[in-house]
Structure 1
């Protein structure tokens, strides 16, 4: 039914724009009719695109509620030794403290093995803070 209304409106507007009959003399009514035609056409394309977009893949809500994502978030909080209910400021403070202790530049004078371990820990902390940031934004 929606398609029929759309096509009838489009046909009416095209005929009106092309016809010599005008409600108002000049081109102002033709411009208004053209704008209405363009608006309807654009609105329909946007609705089509949104319908197509929403049918592909899981929504953000479903992504967040999947067990894998939840376990990643829990693991990130566990890595930082902080509760999931903590504020962003608390999370960021703990993250900074842990990174300061394990940053590769802080252990540059130590052996290669410890430097590698520090690099791994820092990468894990960076990943954890990224996961928590995404979770907090959602």
Structure 2
């Protein structure tokens, strides 16, 4: 009986030690998304997104924006993964509308400009103060 008790203690110790090691070595693939990258990888922090102007046209909002590659290497979605610019706004009655577009290619230190049309339901009023623009990883 004494051997069984000590065997249980040893197994418990091994199990706890193994679980601790496994838990400590786990990490998320998104741990460093907001830190500038090193090497040939990219994170959101490697881009600077600015909404430069907005204009209401019928039942859509024209959004002009710029994206600057702040890293020292050129970015291509085919080499470093997909990043999407996501625009979101809410109407005065609370309905949310969204538009996304890919960041295709930006050389190191270069800024590119583009525009998107954020469509919303005709007859609704878009609340421009709720407009957000973020770069996300796909």
Bigger helix share: 1
TM-score, normalization by structure 2 = 0.29
TM-score, normalization by structure 1 = 0.29
